[in-house]
Structure 1
Amino acid sequence: MKKRLLILTLLFWNATSLLAESGYRLWMRYDLVINEEQRGEYINLLKNIAMKTPSASLRAASQELEQGLSGLLGRKIPVVVSGITAGSIVAGTPLSSTIIKGLKLNIRLETLGEEGYLLSSIVYQSKKVTVIAANSDIGVMYGVFHLLRLIQTNQSVSDLNITDQPRLKYRVLNHWDNLDRTVERGYAGFSLWNWHTLPGYVQQRYVDYARANASIGINGTVLTNVNANSLILTDEYLPKVAAIANVLRPYGIKVYLTARFSSPIELGKLKTADPLNEEVKKWWKDKTDEIYTYIPDFGGFLVKANSEGQPGPQSYGRSHADGANVLADALAPHKGIVMWRAFVYSNDKPEDRFKQAFNEFKPLDGQFRANVMVQVKNGPIDFQPREPFSPLFGAMPKTPLMMEFQITQEYLGQGTHLVYQAPLYKEVLDADTYTKGKGSTVAKVIDGSLDNHSISGMAGVANIGDDLNWTGHLFGQSNWYAFGRLAWNHELSSIAIADEWTRMTFTNDTRFVQTVKGIMMNSRENLVNYMTPLGLHHIMGWDHHYGPGPWIKDKPRADWTAFYYHKADRTAIGFDRTASGSNALSQYAPEVSSFYGDLKTCPPEYLLWFHRLPWTYQLKDGKSLWESLCQRYQFGAASMEGVQKDWNSIAGIIDQERFEQVKMLLAIQKEEVWWWHDACLAYFQSRSELPFPARITAPKKSLEFYENQVFHFVPGI
């Protein structure tokens, strides 16, 4: 009878593996391990869960382990609170588990910090058991997710000897969500946070959001847009924030809020928000103390100030350090932090926008409180498909700098393009600043190791909404996943992360995995080619950034126009940032400046970022600049043919619903990449007045046609 039930169970799991799926389960699908030999190993080694759960975090970890193993192994995995057998999974801390305490793992655990963990195969009282041990309850949870990841990706767990801990202390999602539930630069529906029904109605979706983030090591979330609304700090909204915090807390996730700098005026009815005013200081202290009465583990504030119309300390003749420090002082007694964004630039300054954040913040190095991190975008402009690293990295050794990546695809095809961003993230993290000699990578700046900082962090602008599959495009999930994994360990490779995500999200089928990894690993470079080759940047549509707009000029702000960046005319194209131009390169270490400043060494990928060159300039491959530009647009657009062919070749391996969803979006992407190709080549030919090289597909329509296109209700604004 038992054998018959097992067979029926296996048939059920095999049948459901190809049923329609929405994508809601993300990479935590926990479906039956198809490989029978591998499943047999797991069943023999993982028979029950020996775990006491005195805390909410341990209860959540136990439930995740039970749910995950039961699904993966196709059988109920019991939880026992006393006694072990061969095949027990012993999980806990020395405080929660007498077995863990008795194993005397202190020497191994003491190096793992608050969030680290170990996974070990141990013989205990003549019984082989699997141990998940940590110094904290959340460390145990991270260990649980690691074990589940090994099983989901069909790796052996028979001889485990793994220790792991995060490289960065703060690993945070920034939600650009407004209180009306619209999401700025969001392409996956409305905000997750249903403020109207909170705090009374707490959706299961909030729990699943917490699970997903904990599974990849994210430990903080900023609930509200950096273009902040003071209302979030009122007693109308703080109980709602507290309800969300209560859901996230067991999963090790702290809640942060964006603070509008003018809140003392708007809420406190003060006449000023001057950070050096004593009444203002008291207002922020009292407001912060109030927040902690609602949320005892509140993480702190994220602030956008004196940028794009947001209020800030400069309105009162004060510095960014003055502004950050008044908040830091209010948070310090509660061990909260300030994340102060360095994304500042002024339309009044004729200075190259590339240089402005550096010029603003470099002189303030050493003036910020110890609990302030300056949050710096990965590049000097604005989340472009390819940017050189921001020169601020390495330039402020006395100040902890926090990386800011954009997970949502504002400039990378928005909600319809398949673009895996891990290679973009890695390109920046692995870049060498040379500020303390060779090997002074951006990663070492932000993890604190280069300058011995005790706090460190990485932020990602979230791509999550209330769409059923969370991110709109299924492959948008891979960027959420990749951000979390790299925030935990920036040394992981893009291809290793792609392999994990593909196996956990879809299947371990070898042909499928290899095909999808190929699509993912080429996707970002393909996009650069059909959007912004050879170092072109910020040539997207006006305001909404949807589609091409290299012709855009004569707007209220010059640095919001494409022409400001490419300056294309009949003779040349590009932005001269060498000593003969804006001299932005002088903000880098000499090794970096000379590398990009010398045409003999500057890579073609960054050519027009730093140089203004004639159309006839000859690249290292012998082609002219005009010829190379055309060929890259052609190659990028033509690449979609192969992407569609590769995706279609794996039909039938996964469920039809998700397969068709991606197939339809690839068809949209194909149309849009040729739109980019046609519009950009039509425009740049009008500037260069040169004929198209051989084998270049001519634009289908006139330049006037592309310039006159109007888009209504484009998402993400």
Structure 2
Amino acid sequence: MKLSRFVFLFVLISFSALAQKDYKLWLQYNKITNPAIASEYKSNLKNIVSLGNSETLKISIKELETGILSMLDQKPQIKTEIEGENNLIIGSKPSLNSDLQKTLQSDFDKINSEGFIIKLVVLKNKKQLIITGKNDVAVLYGVFSFLRLMQTNTSLKNLSISDSPKTNIRILNHWDNLDRTVERGYAGFSLWNWQKLPDFIDQRYVDYARANASIGINGTVLTNVNANALILTPQYLEKVEALANVFRPYGIKVYLTARFSAPIEIGNLKTADPKDPEVMNWWKNKAVEIYKRIPDFGGFLVKANSEGQPGPQNYGRDHVDGANMLADAVAPFGGVIMWRAFVYSEHDANDRAKQAYAEFQLYDGKFKENVIVQVKNGAIDFQPREPFHPLFGAMPKTPLMMEFQITQEYLGFSTHLVFLPKLFQEVLESDTYRKGKGSTVAKVVDGSLYNNKITGIAGVANIGNDLNWTGHPFAQANWYGFGRLAWNPYLDSEVIADEWLRSTFSNDENFIKPVKKMMIDSREAVVNYMTPLGLHHIMDTGHHYGPGPWVSNLSRPEWNPVYYHKADKNGIGFDRSKSGTNATAQYAIEVEKLFDNLETCPEKDLLWFHHVSWDYKLKNGQTLWNGLALKYQEGVNQVVTMQNIWNKTEKYIDAERFNEVQMLLEIQNKEAKWWRDACLLYFQQYSGKELPAGVEKPTQTLDYFKSLKFPFAPGNG
């Protein structure tokens, strides 16, 4: 009995140690096995000189101690004065002595208030390594960046880094509900345990803040955009305050979603009309109440008059009236209003893709200076591929904030390996041509195109209380990659993948090279087996799990997949050219001409903008029908390739994560085939053509696929 108990405990402890790898995300701090690199760091990291004692600086020192001990088996001495040489000096600009400030002045001129400097300097003929910035949070960012250099085995020779974020607000939008369910959440329940707050502070809150700070994320919206007014009551604000206190030393501000009808629901008013003096006063008093508790409260995110949410239009007002009323309430405290442009109406059956532009562009220049309009990357809804949203570049007097979705609502949930930074990069690099060639979406978002005062990127979080945070080990890379691109929208996704793999798994090139390629190719794979050649929104409705191109019985036309693909005997695709809805006219003339012409429209967007004959010849000489079928098959083949690559990685990583990804890839393989077979059988009814050579024949009937029901698919809260 004692022996069996010992074996059980041994297994339990071993499992816990392995499970920690998943929990640690990209902050693994694995031992440096390259002798030359290890020696280089050891000689420079014997002593850490801490010039300050703020909570943030203490966190920085602790992080360095943890990382150095883990990666080098060396415990540095912590000192408060500079003695000798080869010290690592940590402190913000005000804490540096005059010699250091003078030495680094040109570097300080290059950075903004959140930027950092990592540099080898010579001070009084003695070599020192310094991490600094204009405040302690900037130093923390520098510390995490330095530890990333260690994790990726980067040499210290000629080290001189001056780096600043290119956007002001780098924020996660949690679609978390007060009952701990998460809308479009595929990694368990919400992190926020409202029942136990404010008195019970879960260690996960600290670890969450640490992970975000490590990639430069500086804000979090705690609650769902489909808002609940209760979050604004004293009972819940006390809990929000507790979280804000945890996050503050990590440089993270707390934001909340504001339900527009809150003055009625919790304020006992008869109206929420933004022009009503009592309503204005209610919001101003609410802002005072919040800022009294949380002096650095970031502000409100608002979803209004969209998908049934209340808003100013309920009272004959417009988005400007609603946003500016709230902006006035938080302006005295430096707060910001993030007003979402995701709107579409059941009363306009013309083209859902046109509605946000039509509703918002005319308000350019009318919003208060502390309002930023949050625009999804595409005009429909976080599809595997969408052309960039036409609002980007079209509102020069209004700051526009990018909204990406990190959680994979339309990309296979957390069971599919899809490296989203490739999608993010594609959007950010898109040229709007609004001020001539080179007017990229990234330049709109970072404010450089129109000199906007406030800038931002938001990501709908994929985080839950699963042990590994995101439900899939590789979904962690999407959280990581979002943070890195929010900091610098010009980063290459291959660089991000390389950093993440080295920090999370291994520096072995035999592992890095094939797995990085697998990640980079994964997004195109999911496009191919779900929505090739510009198809979109053909997922089953409501839960968005699996294919449902046949759905046509919902009350609103734009909720039905048939609305988007318009397949008939003549062809397939949504005509948004001049001969159709003329959505192409919402782009700059250069982009409009590109998309409007069937011959020049990129094939990846073909069926987004054109209804095309089944016999239309693609650039590779295939008919549209054959090309579509072969794309579906290519997607399945790409997943098989991913499996083959992963199966060869077993000797490079721990068994737990290897097995976990292996099982998930098998699910992805099955579901990719499901997508291929269901969609091709459905569209074949209209094309009337046989499947081309090279495409596997379905093993089930269309009726079988139509019969599948998933009433409890996750994330449909």
Same fold (TM over 0.5): yes
CA, structure 1 residues 17+146, in 2 after alignment: closer, same or farther (shift >3 Å)? farther
Partner of 2:538: 539
| SS of alignment partner, residue 234 of structure 2 | coil
Please give the alpha-carbon distance, in whole angstroms, between the structure 1 residues aligned to 2:253 and 2:450.
26
Partner of 2:439: 440
Partner of 1:3: none
1:210 paired to 2:209: yes
| SS of alignment partner, residue 301 of structure 1 | strand
Q: TM-score, normalised by structure 1?
A: 0.97
Q: Is the 8 A contact 1:22 1:657 kept in 2?
A: no
Q: Is the 8 A contact 2:169 2:218 kept in 1?
A: yes
Please give the alpha-carbon distance, in whole angstroms, between the structure 2 residues aligned to 1:240 and 1:307.
28
Please give the alpha-carbon distance, in whole angstroms, between the structure 2 residues aligned to 1:331 and 1:342.
20
Q: Is the 8 A contact 2:230 2:236 kept in 1?
A: yes
Please give the alpha-carbon distance, in whole angstroms, between the structure 2 residues aligned to 1:517 and 1:660.
18
| SS of alignment partner, residue 595 of structure 1 | helix
Q: Which amino acid aligns with 2:480?
A: Y
Partner of 1:461: 460
Please give the alpha-carbon distance, in whole angstroms, between the structure 2 residues aligned to 1:285 and 1:100.
48
Q: Is the 8 A contact 2:100 2:123 kept in 1?
A: no
Partner of 2:590: 591
Partner of 2:267: 268
Q: Which amino acid aligns with 2:462?
A: N
Describe the superposition over 1:33-70 as per-residue Cα deviations: whole angstroms up to 9, x where unpaired: 11122111110122111013321111111111111111
Partner of 1:293: 292
| SS of alignment partner, residue 450 of structure 1 | coil
Deviation of 1:158 (Å)? 3.1
Q: Is the 8 A contact 2:290 2:297 kept in 1?
A: yes
Percent of pairs identical after alignment? 58
Partner of 1:5: none
1:657 paired to 2:645: no
Q: Which amino acid aligns with 2:369?
A: A
CA, structure 1 residues 46+158, in 2 after alignment: closer, same or farther (shift >3 Å)? farther
1:397 paired to 2:415: no
Q: Is the 8 A contact 1:21 1:658 kept in 2?
A: no
Partner of 1:337: 336
1:613 paired to 2:583: no
Please give the alpha-carbon distance, in whole angstroms, between the structure 2 residues aligned to 1:260 and 1:20.
39
Report matched runs for 1:415-426 at 5 Å: 415-426=414-425
Partner of 1:52: 51
Partner of 2:182: 183
Q: Which amino acid aligns with 1:549?
A: G
Deviation of 1:107 (Å)? 3.6
Deviation of 1:85 (Å)? 2.8
Partner of 2:554: 555
Q: Is the 8 A contact 1:51 1:97 kept in 2?
A: no
Please give the alpha-carbon distance, in whole angstroms, between the structure 1 residues aligned to 2:201 and 2:18.
29
Deviation of 1:18 (Å)? 9.8
CA, structure 1 residues 230+46, in 2 after alignment: closer, same or farther (shift >3 Å)? same
Partner of 1:695: 694
Deviation of 1:20 (Å)? 5.7
Please give the alpha-carbon distance, in whole angstroms, between the structure 1 residues aligned to 2:340 and 2:154.
41
Please give the alpha-carbon distance, in whole angstroms, between the structure 2 residues aligned to 1:22 and 1:218.
22
Partner of 1:673: 672
| SS of alignment partner, residue 433 of structure 2 | coil
Deviation of 1:101 (Å)? 4.8
Please give the alpha-carbon distance, in whole angstroms, between the structure 1 residues aligned to 2:517 and 2:20.
23
CA, structure 1 residues 557+144, in 2 after alignment: closer, same or farther (shift >3 Å)? same
User: Once structures 1 and 2 are overlaid, which stretch shifts more, 20-29 or 481-490?
Assistant: 20-29
Please give the alpha-carbon distance, in whole angstroms, between the structure 2 residues aligned to 1:341 and 1:84.
53
Please give the alpha-carbon distance, in whole angstroms, between the structure 2 residues aligned to 1:19 and 1:226.
36
User: Once structures 1 and 2 are overlaid, which stretch shifts more, 69-78 or 179-188?
Assistant: 69-78
Partner of 2:168: 169
Q: Which amino acid aligns with 1:144?
A: V
Deviation of 1:323 (Å)? 0.3
Please give the alpha-carbon distance, in whole angstroms, between the structure 2 residues aligned to 1:381 and 1:243.
37
CA, structure 1 residues 693+94, in 2 after alignment: closer, same or farther (shift >3 Å)? closer
Q: Is the 8 A contact 2:21 2:28 kept in 1?
A: no
Please give the alpha-carbon distance, in whole angstroms, between the structure 2 residues aligned to 1:132 and 1:659.
36
Please give the alpha-carbon distance, in whole angstroms, between the structure 2 residues aligned to 1:640 and 1:171.
32
Please give the alpha-carbon distance, in whole angstroms, between the structure 2 residues aligned to 1:20 and 1:259.
37
Deviation of 1:285 (Å)? 0.1
Report matched runs for 1:357-506 at 5 Å: 357-506=356-505
Provide structure 1 residue ranges, at least 5 long, that are not aligned to the other structure. Answer: 1-14
Q: Which amino acid aligns with 1:652?
A: K
1:625 paired to 2:644: no
Please give the alpha-carbon distance, in whole angstroms, between the structure 2 residues aligned to 1:477 and 1:459.
17
Q: Which amino acid aligns with 1:58?
A: L
| SS of alignment partner, residue 95 of structure 1 | helix
Q: Is the 8 A contact 1:18 1:656 kept in 2?
A: no
Q: Is the 8 A contact 1:100 1:133 kept in 2?
A: no
Q: How many residues align?
A: 703
Q: Which amino acid aligns with 1:29?
A: Q
User: Once structures 1 and 2 are overlaid, which stretch shifts more, 532-541 or 637-646?
Assistant: 637-646
Deviation of 1:103 (Å)? 4.4
Q: Which amino acid aligns with 2:439?
A: S
Q: Which amino acid aligns with 2:674?
A: W
Please give the alpha-carbon distance, in whole angstroms, between the structure 2 residues aligned to 1:223 and 1:57.
22
Partner of 1:151: 150
| CA-based RMSD | 1.4
Describe the superposition over 1:557-590 as per-residue Cα deviations: whole angstroms up to 9, x where unpaired: 1111110000101121100001110000000001
Deviation of 1:102 (Å)? 4.9
Deviation of 1:129 (Å)? 1.0
Describe the superposition over 1:216-238 as per-residue Cα deviations: whole angstroms up to 9, x where unpaired: 00000000000000000000000
Please give the alpha-carbon distance, in whole angstroms, between the structure 2 residues aligned to 1:370 and 1:653.
52
Q: Is the 8 A contact 1:534 1:605 kept in 2?
A: yes
Please give the alpha-carbon distance, in whole angstroms, between the structure 1 residues aligned to 2:235 and 2:15.
45
Q: Is the 8 A contact 1:325 1:369 kept in 2?
A: yes
Please give the alpha-carbon distance, in whole angstroms, between the structure 1 residues aligned to 2:33 and 2:500.
17
| SS of alignment partner, residue 714 of structure 1 | coil
CA, structure 1 residues 244+100, in 2 after alignment: closer, same or farther (shift >3 Å)? farther
Partner of 1:12: none
Q: Which amino acid aligns with 2:678?
A: A
Report matched runs for 1:57-206 at 5 Å: 57-98=56-97, 101-206=100-205
CA, structure 1 residues 387+411, in 2 after alignment: closer, same or farther (shift >3 Å)? same
Q: Is the 8 A contact 1:172 1:458 kept in 2?
A: yes
Please give the alpha-carbon distance, in whole angstroms, between the structure 2 residues aligned to 1:68 and 1:98.
27
CA, structure 1 residues 687+102, in 2 after alignment: closer, same or farther (shift >3 Å)? closer
User: Once structures 1 and 2 are overlaid, which stretch shifts more, 475-484 or 102-111?
Assistant: 102-111
Please give the alpha-carbon distance, in whole angstroms, between the structure 2 residues aligned to 1:491 and 1:572.
38
Please give the alpha-carbon distance, in whole angstroms, between the structure 2 residues aligned to 1:674 and 1:537.
18
Please give the alpha-carbon distance, in whole angstroms, between the structure 2 residues aligned to 1:40 and 1:107.
30
Partner of 1:641: 640
Please give the alpha-carbon distance, in whole angstroms, between the structure 2 residues aligned to 1:19 and 1:488.
31
Q: Which amino acid aligns with 1:182?
A: T
Partner of 1:34: 33
Deviation of 1:271 (Å)? 0.7
| SS of alignment partner, residue 22 of structure 2 | coil
Partner of 1:7: none
Partner of 1:249: 248
Describe the superposition over 1:490-547 as per-residue Cα deviations: whole angstroms up to 9, x where unpaired: 1110100000000000010111111110110000001100000010000001100000
Please give the alpha-carbon distance, in whole angstroms, between the structure 2 residues aligned to 1:602 and 1:500.
35
Please give the alpha-carbon distance, in whole angstroms, between the structure 2 residues aligned to 1:465 and 1:98.
44
Deviation of 1:481 (Å)? 0.5
Q: Which amino acid aligns with 1:539?
A: I
User: Once structures 1 and 2 are overlaid, which stretch shifts more, 217-226 or 70-79?
Assistant: 70-79
Please give the alpha-carbon distance, in whole angstroms, between the structure 2 residues aligned to 1:525 and 1:76.
45
Deviation of 1:711 (Å)? 1.1
Please give the alpha-carbon distance, in whole angstroms, between the structure 2 residues aligned to 1:104 and 1:158.
19
Q: Is the 8 A contact 1:53 1:62 kept in 2?
A: no
Q: Is the 8 A contact 1:338 1:372 kept in 2?
A: yes
